[in-house]
Amino acid sequence: MSNNKKVLIVLTNVATYGQTNDATGLWLGEATEFIDELFKVGIEVDYTSPNGGYVPIDPRSLNYLDENMTSYYKDSDFQERALMHSIPAKEINPDDYSAIYYTGGHGVMWDFPNNPYLQHISEAIYKNGGYITSVCHGIAGLFFLQDDNRKPLIAGKKITGFTTAEEYLSGKVKKVPFMNETLAQQRGANFLKKRAYKPFAIQDGQLITGQNLFSPREVAHLLIQNIK
The pLDDT > 90 percentage for the chain reads 97
- For the cut 80, the answer to whether the pLDDT of residue 187 exceeds it is yes
What would the mean pLDDT of 103-126 be, rounded to a whole number? 97
What would the mean pLDDT of 93-119 be, rounded to a whole number? 97
For 221, other C-beta atoms within 10 Å of its C-beta total 13
- For the cut 50, the answer to whether the pLDDT of residue 1 exceeds it is no
**pLDDT averaged over every residue in the chain:** 96
pLDDT of residue 161: 98
**196 and 166 Cβ atoms separated by less than 8 Å:** yes
Residues forming the active site: 136-137, 167
Enclosing H/E stretch for 182: helix 180-186
pLDDT of residue 189: 98
Q: What's the farthest any 2 CA atoms get from each other in the chain?
A: 46
Q: What pTM value is reported for the model?
A: 0.97
Closest CA to 10 of 69, 79, 87: 87
* Residue 141 CB contacts under 8 Å (≥ 6 apart), including other chains: 10, 102, 108, 112, 113, 118, 122, 134
CA-to-CA distance for 69 and 65, rounded, in angstroms?
6
**92 and 120 Cβ atoms separated by less than 8 Å:** no
Q: What is the pLDDT of residues 33-66, one digit of tens each?
A: 999 999 999 999 999 999 999 999 999 999 999 9
- For the cut 70, the answer to whether the pLDDT of residue 3 exceeds it is no
φ, ψ at 62 (rounded to 5°): -70, -15
